[in-house]
Structure 1
Amino acid sequence: MVTRRDLITYTSFSMVLSALGFTPAVFAAQGLKLGTDTPFSFEGLIQQAKESAKSPYVAPQQVPDSAVASINYDIYSKVMYKPEYALFNEGVSRFPVTFFSVSNLHKLPVKMAVVENKRAREIIQNADYFIFPDNSQGALSAVKGNVFSGFRVLEHRQPLNKPPVKDWVSFLGASYFRAVGELGQFGVSARGVAINTVFGDTKEEFPDFTQFWFESPEKDSDRLVVYALLDGPSVCGAYRFDLQRTQGVVMDVDCVLFLRRDVGRLGIAPQTSMFWFSEMAKGSASDWRPEVHDSDGLAVLTGSDEHIWRPLNNPLQIRVSAFSDNNPRGFGLMQKQRDPESYLGSAGYERRPDLWVEPKGDWGKGSVQLIEIPTDDEIFDNIVAMWVPEHEAKAGSEHQFSYRMHWLADEPYPSTLARCGITRLGRGGNPGAYTDPAARKFMVEFHGDVLEQLPADAHIDAVVSASRGTLKDIKVNKLPSDKGHWRTFFDLHVDGKEPVELRLYLKSGDKTLSETWMYQYLPFTSSPKPLQGV
C-alpha cells in the first residue's frame, strides 16, 4: 500500500530527477546502476541487426566456468534476486522485472537496458543484486561485467522482506521464453526462431537473445514492451514484444530477420513442448501415471478456415509432418486433457497452457511443421511446432513477420463445428474375433452444440481416409450418457512398418459437422503382438 508520505517523497524526488534529465519511470529503477543514455528506437535496432548480419558471426563471451562452477541446478533454483533492485518495482508500473543470474547451466550473460523517451540506459550488472544460498556465488562476485542470463516479469510489486512474487513471463536461455496461461501454470515454451531443427545432417543452431531493452510503461498499464537483439551463426534479428497480462497472457511479436548464410529449415514462431505418453497409446509399465505431457496435440486453423486436430506421438524415431497452407490463420500446441485424474496430481499437467500463434499480415505459402522426437522421460522437450515459409531462406535475405501469441486454456477462436475429443486405440476386430494381429481399432470422440441438437438416430457419416491400408467397420454412435458427445469407430488393416496418415471428419448429407481429425499411425510402434493361449 502506498502511503501519502511515500507519494510525497516520490513526487519530490521525481521533480528533482526530471530537472536532471531523469523521468519517474527511470527513477523506478534507481536501485540499479545505469549507464549513460543513448538514442534508441525499433527502427534503429532493425538497422543494427541488418548491419551486424553483414559481418561474420562472433560468438558472445561466456562467463568463466570457474565463476559458476558452484551454481548447479539445485543451487540455482534457490538464488533470489533482491527486490530492492527490481526494475519498475516502484512508480507507475504494475509489473516489476527481475533478473536471472548466470549459472553452470546458463553461462551467457545478457545485456539489459531501460528505455524512456527514445533514450536507453544500460543496466550496470552486479552479482550483489542476488542472494545466493550458502555463499554459493563463489567466484561470480569477482566477475567484472554482465551477470544476468535472462529476466522474469512479476505479477505485482515485490515487497521487501517477503517471499518472492510469482512471475507470468520469463526469458531464459538462447531465444527461449514462456508465459503462464489462464490456469496459472507454465508449460509449453516458445523461441524467437528455429534454425535447421531436424534438417538432414545439418546441426541445429540456437541463436541467442544477446540484449534486451525495457520500455518504461505507462501508469497502471497492463502491458510491458520489450525489445531484443537476436544473434547467431546464420541469423541476426530485431524483435519487439508487447506483453499483456489478460486472463492468460497475450504477446504481440514483430520480428525482422537477416540471414548470414543459407538456412535449410527456417522456423517462424516456433513452440517447444513435451509429450511422453497418453492413455491413447501407453507402453506397458513405462510409468504409474495414466498420462504425462505438457501438450497432447497440434491444432491448426488453415487459410481456408479448416480446423485441424492432430494428436501427438512419441515415436521410436524422429518424425516430421508438414501441413501445407497459404496464409494460415493460426496454429498451436494444445493441452486438451484437463482432468487431474489423468495425471494423478503430478506436476500440474492439467493446468499447462495452450499456446496459439495468430499470424498477422501476409505469410504466404508454406507449412505448419510438427517435429516429434523420441523420449523416455518427462524432463525432455521432444515436440516442436513452427511455420516454415515455402520460399528459400538464402544468405543475404530479409524476413519480416508479425504475429500474436495467446497463452490460454483453449484456442482463442475455437471452431463452431463439433470439436475433436479423446482418441483411443485398440485391437482391430471384435471380442472373440481378433483375426488380424496387425489390425487396429480407432475410437475418436467429437462434441459440441451442433451434435447436441441431433437425435440419437440421426444419420451421421464418418468421412475417413488413409494414405495406405484398408478401412473397415466404420461406425458413428451417440454416447447415451452425454447428449453432446458422439463416437466414431473404424478398423485399419495395414501391412508393413511405414507410417499411415489418417484423416476423419463428420458430416450429415452435404453439411460438415466437425473439425478435421488427423493422425499419423506408426505400425511398428503400435501393433499389438498376438495373444498366446494359456
Structure 2
Amino acid sequence: MGKAGKLALWAVPLLFAAHSWAFDLDDVAVKAKALAAEGYNAPQSNLPGALRELAFADYQKLRFREDQAHWRDGKTPFQLYFFHQGMHFDLPVKINEVTATGVREIRYDPAMFDFADLPVQPGELENLGFAGFKVIHPLNAADKHDELMSVLGASYFRVVGKGQVYGLSARGLAIDTALPSGEEFPRFSEFWIEQPQADRRSLVIYALLDSPRATGAYRMEIKPGEDSVLDVEARLYLRDSVEKLGIAPLTSMYLFGANQPWPRPNYRPELHDSDGLAIHAGNGEWLWRPLNNPQRLNVSSYRIDNPRGFGLLQRGRDFAQYQDLDDRYELRPSAWVETLGDWGPGHVELVEIPTPDETNDNIVALWRPDKLPAVGQPLDIAYRLHFSRDEAALHDPQLAWVSQTRLSEGDVKQANLIRQPDGSTALLVDFVGPRLAKRKAEAPPTVQASVDGNAELLENSLRYNPVSRGWRLTLRVKIKDPAQPVEMRAALVEDGKPLSETWSYQLPAHE
C-alpha cells in the first residue's frame, strides 16, 4: 500500500473523532474531584483600588457594550453579556465556550465595557477577567433582547420568565448557613457554556464550584418561556467535614407584609420578593409557611423525607398589594425546586434574618440531607427550578392554598356593634382554589387548628369569602409570653381528608 493510501486510512478515525467530541458533566467532575483532594487555595483578587471602592451607583455606570455581545451574529437565539469586576465582586471567573470541536476561553477585554467617568487607568485593566455573565434571549418579543439569567457573585444566579422582573436568587450550594461558626460561601470559579445551534431553545452551562470545604461540578440547562425552567445536575465532593450542607438554596427578601405590617407609615402595603415557603412533602402533604422579618435570627426546620419539592413563592400578584412603580414586586417570580430522584431523609430549613430595609436578602430556604458523603466521595443531586408567576401551576389543584395571611388586633363585637379590642392577636387566613370555588357557601369545610403552649386559642371561625370564592379563617389567640414565638397550624379538611395545604405559621416574638 502506498503512502497516500496509508494517510487515507488514518484520516477516517481522526475525522470521526472530531465529529464525536463532546463535553459533559463528567469532564467537570474530574476537575472537582481533583480539587477536593488538594488543599484549598484561596483565590486572589487582581482588582485595582479604584474599582474595589466603587459605590453601588458608580458600579452601575460600568456597563457592558451590547455591540460586544458574544454570539451577536444572530446565529443562535442566545447572547452572552459579561459583568466587570467591581465593589465586592472582586474575583475573576474563567468563562469558556464549548463548540462541536473543542473548548476555548472567552477572554476579557476592557474594550468590551463603557467605564463612563470612573477614575480607572488603562494599565490597571490588563488581564482582569470577568466577574460573571448574563444570558440574553428574546423572552418577551421576537425582536427584543431581554435578560434571561444573571450569574454574579459566589454561586448566586437569578432567572426570569416572560413578563417577570428579577427578584429572589438561587445558589449552587450553601454551607453552615446561620450557624454560630459562620457561613461559608462556595463560588463558581469556572464556566463552560455550550454554543447552541440556531434551532436550540435551551442553553447548557457547566460550572466548577470551589470552597474551603467542598467542590462541585454542575450542569445547568436553562429553558426560557412563560415560566423559565433550569434543570440542574450536580456532583459534590467534600474536602472536610461540614455541619450543614444546603442543597438547592434559595435566597430572598422579606421586609414587611400583611402578616407583619411596617411600624411606620409607608405608601407600600407590602414589600418583599417572596411571602412564603411552600413544601411538598414525600408523604404528599403540602405546607405553607408565611415569612417574617424577625427581631432576631430565626431558623425553622421541617423534617421531610424525600421531598417532592419546596420553594420561596410570591403569591400576591395584584399591584395594589405593593403600589411600587419602580420595583414591581408583583412581577417578581416564585422559585420552586422540583426534586428529581430520591433525596432521602433530611430537613427543609427556613432561615429568617432581621433586616431594616429592602437592600438585604434576609431569607434563605434550603434542603439539608441527614447523610453526607465521606470526604472525597461524590454526592449526586438533580432538581428542576421553576421561575413562575402562576401559583396554580406550582400547586396540587385538588388542594386549596393560602392566598394571604393578615395580622390584626384581636377584638370582640359588642352588643352595640362596636368592636372592642380585648388584648388578643388575630390572624386572618384566606384559602382559595378550584375545588373551593365549586363549593356552596352554606357548606363550610371542617377546620383543624392548633397553637403551641405559649398561646390560648380564643377563636377559630370560618366564613365564606364571596370575593375570592374561598373561605376565610380567623384565629384569635391570647399570647402568654410576647418575648417567645407562637407556633400555629391550620388546615381545611372533609371526612378526615385534607381539602387544603397546611398553614404553618410562627407568630414572631416581640422584645
Q: TM-score, normalised by structure 2?
A: 0.89
| C-alpha contact 2:409 2:421 (8 A) present in aligned 1 | no
Matched, 1:226 2:197: no
1:283 and 2:246 matched:
no
- The size of the alignment, in residue pairs, is 480
Q: Contact 1:261–1:395 (CA<8 Å) still a contact in 2?
A: yes
Shift in Å at residue 241 of structure 1? 0.7
Match of 2:68 in 1: 85
What are the superposed Cα offsets for residues 185-204 of structure 1, whole Å, 9 maximum, x if unpaired? 110101110111101x2111
CA distance in 1, matches of 2:61, 2:207: 27
**Contact 1:250 1:406 (C-alpha < 8 Å) held by counterparts:** yes
Residue 16 of structure 1 aligns with which residue?
A: none
| Partner Cα distance (2:49, 2:467) in 1 | 63
Contact 2:54–2:86 (8 Å) recurs in 1: yes
Contact preservation (8 Å) 2:444, 2:464: no
Query: Structure 1: where are the runs of 5+ without partners?
Result: 1-20, 22-37, 158-162, 526-534
* Shift of residue 230, structure 1, vs aligned partner: 0.8
> Corresponding residue for 1:6?
none
Matches within 5 A, 1:256-271: 256-271=235-250
Q: Could you tell me which runs of 5 or more consecutive residues in structure 2 were left unpaired when the two chains were aligned.
A: 1-13, 15-20
Give 1:447's aligned amino acid. V
Q: Contact between 2:220 and 2:230, CA under 8 Å: does it hold in 1?
A: yes
Q: Residue 486 of structure 1: which of 457, 468, 471 is its match? A: 471
1: distance between equivalents of 2:474 and 2:129?
57
Amino acid at match of 1:148: F
* Counterparts in 2 of 1:334 and 1:129: CA distance versus 1, 3 Å: same
Shift of 1:147: 2.2
Distance 1:286 1:55 in 2: 55
State whether structure 2 residue 494 is matched by structure 1 residue 508: yes
Q: Where in structure 2 are the equivalents of 1:308-457 lying within 5 Å? A: 308-346=287-325, 347-392=327-372, 395-411=375-391, 412-416=393-397, 417-431=399-413, 436-437=422-423, 439-457=424-442
Aligned to 1:193: 173
- Percent identity over paired residues: 38
Moved more, 352-361 or 147-156: 147-156
* Higher deviation after alignment, 213-222 or 170-179: 213-222
Closer/same/farther in 2, CA of residues 480 and 253 from structure 1, 3 Å limit: closer
| Residues 50-94 of structure 1: per-residue CA shift (max 9 Å, x gap) | 011111111112123335257542232132323343222225310
Alignment RMSD: 2.3
1:241 to 2:228 alignment: no
Give the aligned partner of residue 210 of structure 1: 189
Instruction: Find the counterpart in structure 2 of residue 24 from structure 1.
Output: none
Q: Partners in 1 of 2:444 and 2:158 — Cα distance?
A: 45
In the alignment, which residue of structure 2 is the partner of 1:26?
Answer: none
Say if 1:97 and 1:222 are closer, same or farther in 2 by CA, change over 3 A.
same
TM-score (norm: length of structure 1): 0.85
Secondary structure at 1:68's aligned position in 2? Answer: helix
Alignment of 1:68-83 (within 5 A): 68-69=51-52, 71-83=54-66
1:128–1:141: 8 Å Cα contact kept in structure 2? no
Of the three residues 102, 108, 116, the one matched with 1:125 is 108
The residue type equivalent to 1:230 in the other structure is L
* Per-residue deviation, residues 446-492 of structure 1 (Å, max 9, x unmatched): 1122222222221421100122232232111112444x221111222
Q: Are 1:477 and 2:463 an aligned pair?
A: yes
Cα distance per residue 1:179-237 (max 9 Å; x no partner): 113332110101110111101x2111111111111111122211110111111111111
Contact 1:473–1:489 (8 Å) recurs in 2: yes
Q: Which residue of 1 aligns with 2:11?
A: none
Partner of 2:81: 98
Per-residue CA deviations over 1:11-60 (Å, capped at 9, x if unaligned) read: xxxxxxxxxx9xxxxxxxxxxxxxxxx98542121011101111111111
Contact 2:444–2:463 under 8 Å retained in 1: no
SS in 2 for 1:142: helix
Cα distance 1:463–1:270, how it changes in 2: closer, same or farther (>3 A)? same
Per-residue deviation, residues 344-374 of structure 1 (Å, max 9, x unmatched): 1241011110000111111001111100000
User: Aligned residue for 1:521?
Assistant: 507
> Which amino acid in 2 is paired with 1:235?
A
Aligned equivalents of 2:124, 2:57: Cα separation in 1: 22
Structure 1 residue identity aligned to 2:336: W
Deviation of 1:393 after TM superposition, in Å, equals: 5.9
Structure 1, residues 496-526: CA drift from partner, whole Å, max 9, x if none?
A: 232222111112333422111110112426x
| Secondary structure, counterpart of 2:304 in structure 1 | strand
Structure 2 equivalent of residue 53 of structure 1: 36
- 1:18 matched to which residue of 2? none
Give the aligned residue type for 2:115.
Answer: F
The CA distance in 2 between the partners of 1:49 and 1:389, in whole Å, is 21
* 2:281 alignment counterpart: 302
Aligned to 2:125: 143
